[in-house]
Structure 1
Amino acid sequence: MAGDFDLSAPELTRDDLLVLEDPYFGPETVAIVTGAASGIGRATALGLAANDLTVVGADIDAEGLDETEDIAADLDVSGTIHGIETDLTDDGDVAAVVAAAADEGDLRFVANIAGMQHIAGIHEFPMEKYDLLTDIMLRSPFKMAQAAMPHIRETDDGVGAIANMSSVHGHYATKDKPAYITAKHGITGLTRAIAAEGDGSLRGYSVSVGYVLTPLMVDQIADTAAERGISEQEVVEDVMLGQARTKEMMTPAEVANLFTFGFSSHASHLNGADLLFDGGYTHTYE
């Protein structure tokens, strides 16, 4: 809790998840979701499983993956989630999880969601943190696309999509998040490159949102308060929500629904572009 804001995501229910009729949404279709052990990645894995897909969840947190599978069972989703412990900084692990996913059926969808954060200015930013962050958030999505694209092309019609988690920080920069901002701007280029090489049937798109009630976001509050010399309440009110027109944070399920829509046939013209749901951060000013 920071001041009057309840910084905990509401418990996810089946009713929170977007369910669509789609010819590719069935158990024979496989989707990979990275970061599936918590937050947006977990919600996206659950959302795709609620649409009857076979989901392979990749994360270094094996216990978190088990919990995601347990939540899927509790929600009685129609699809299946297979958690695979994966070190996304290891090219061999990334290639292995893609191969395992392809063995489950027609690999058509990849959601690169896994991320991390480190709060510090450029002048004092530890390079080992820079390397780790960009390995997880930029190199790994590149390797995932490299490994997955041949499998998508090998399906009967080559239809599929690779989606990348971006951010308002992929559109503009604020201080004390230089590595994160660098990675998110880079993911825009990767998304466009996937679209350019996808021949129309294999699409690339990204999803950009503002602040979301996830463990990663909550952990940032104290760090940002210390870095800027302000209170945690001021971080939430002024830094996180100050520029927004919608004065509430998104939930992981709301973000997951954007990935579900983006993978669906309803989004066939979403290619090389970004789904920007930011509450007015990016294009409105005081």
Structure 2
Amino acid sequence: MANSSTELRPPELSTDDLLQVPDDYFTTDTVAIVTGGGSGIGQATSVALAINGLTVAAVDIDEEGLEETVDVATSLDADGRVVPIEGDLTDDEAVEATVDEAADLGTIRYAANIAGMQHIASLADFPMETYDFMHDLMLRSPFLLSKLVIPHIEATDDGVGAIGNMSSVHGHYATQNKPAYITLKHGLTGLTRAIAAEGSGSLRGFSVSVGYVLTPLMVGQIKDTAEERGISEQEVIEDVMLGQARTKEMMTPAEVANLFVFGFSSHARHLNGGDLLWDGGYTTTYE
């Protein structure tokens, strides 16, 4: 368990941490779009898919973060590549431009909707302008990106592809002071099932749900939660974040990225409309 905030920094990515899956579709001619590709889970997923030989269109508003993602993939001698696409996912035209640019890189078969944010406040006090932004980023944008990507997958010779959505344990249950995040993650469950329902079996939809992960978002969330509840950051880590889990350690971005690699692979062809719940026992055990 971490004892100080310095230990909460995400570990550096290495090839030893990343799942590598032989798959006929994992080639540089195949494109995977990854949102939030400039940091955290999105960065790790972009690198992991590039390690597996794919061309990754990594999308983020953070230009420096995207450059870092490219550098990490290059430093690990990825068989594929990361192509940075700077864009505001809350802007419809930017999302459309992203898909157009990605289509120029090869055949789009995969998309990972990972970009997200958190805001800690009670439902009664939640600022609606923040809710609107979170909605546009975390639910409307995945809906639009899926809408735009599906025709590309359907236009392939066999219609094989998948759209993975980054959900959460908060897509399964609710806790206090995260009403927008909880609402939107539950919404992603519906989107995932809608994709599966319309995908004819070969175009799949799935989601990934995890507990707390060592990302920059999580570090900021610790600070916000401590302020909201009037407790120390260490108490947030030990009592709030890890208190309910049976596995007493936080996941790493690489571990989450590996779930997207598996979910996109042919080994997961029966994962359709379902959720990869990797939560250390958060939602299935209690005291």
Structures share fold, TM-score greater than 0.5: yes
Q: Which residue of structure 2 aligns with residue 99 of structure 1?
A: 100
Summarize deviations over 1:1-36 as a string: whole Å, max 9, x none. Answer: 974562112211111110011110111110000000
Give the distance between the partners of 2:69 and 2:101, measured in 1 at CA.
19
Shift of 1:73: 1.1
Secondary structure of 2:59 counterpart? strand
Distance 2:29 2:114 in 1: 23
Residue in 2 that maps onto 1:187: 188
Question: Following the alignment from structure 1 to structure 2, what is the Cα–Cα distance between the partners of residues 111 and 3?
Answer: 33
Partners of 2:92 and 2:156 lie apart in 1 by 24
* Residues 3 and 232, structure 1, Cα contact 8 Å, conserved in 2: no
SS of the equivalent of 2:115 reads coil
Instruction: Give the unaligned 5+ runs of structure 2.
Output: none
Partner of 1:264: 265
Aligned counterparts, 1:8-23, within 5 A: 8-23=9-24
- Counterpart of 2:56 in structure 1 is 55
Unaligned runs of 5+ in 1: none
Structure 2 distance, partners of 1:269, 1:11, is: 32
Aligned counterparts, 1:2-13, within 5 A: 3-4=3-4, 6-13=7-14
Which residue in 2 is equivalent to 1:224? 225
Task: Give CA-to-partner distance per residue, 1:252-280, whole Å, 9 cap, x none.
Answer: 00000000000000000000000000000
Match of 1:236, as an amino acid? Answer: I
Instruction: Quote the residue 1:37 is aligned against.
Output: 38
Rounded Cα–Cα distance in structure 1 between residues aligned with 2:4 and 2:41 = 24
Q: Distance in 2 between matches of 1:100 and 1:152?
A: 15
Aligned-pair identity (%): 71
Q: Give the distance between the partners of 1:255 and 1:38, measured in 2 at CA.
A: 13
In 1: Cα distance, 2:2 partner to 2:274 partner: 35
Partners of 2:95 and 2:129 in 1: CA distance? 21
Say which SS state the counterpart of residue 164 (structure 1) adopts: strand
Aligned residues: 286
Match of 1:160 in 2: 161
Match in the other structure for 1:242: 243
Deviation digits for residues 115-151 of structure 1, max 9, x if unmatched?
A: 0010000111110100001110000000000000000
Q: Deviations over 1:27-82 (max 9, x none)?
A: 11100000000000000000000000000000000111011101111111110100
Aligned to 1:122, what secondary structure does the other structure show?
coil
After the TM superposition, which segments of 4 or more aligned residues of structure 1 sit over 3 Å from their partners?
A: 1-5
Q: How does 1:130-209 map to 2 (within 5 A)?
A: 130-209=131-210
SS, match of residue 84 in structure 1: strand
- Give the counterpart letter for 1:57 in structure 2: A
Shift of residue 105, structure 1, vs aligned partner: 1.0
Q: Is the 8 A contact 1:29 1:106 kept in 2?
A: yes
- TM-score scaled by structure 2? 0.98
Amino acid at match of 2:214: L
Q: Distance in 2 between matches of 1:165 and 1:4?
A: 28
1:230 Cα offset (Å): 1.1
Q: Distance in 2 between matches of 1:44 and 1:248?
A: 20
TM-score, scaled relative to structure 1: 0.98
SS in 1 for 2:124: helix
Contact 1:7 1:218 in 2 (8 A): yes
Distance 1:176 1:92 in 2: 32
Task: Compute the RMSD of aligned alpha carbons.
Answer: 1.1
Q: Is the 8 A contact 1:44 1:253 kept in 2?
A: yes
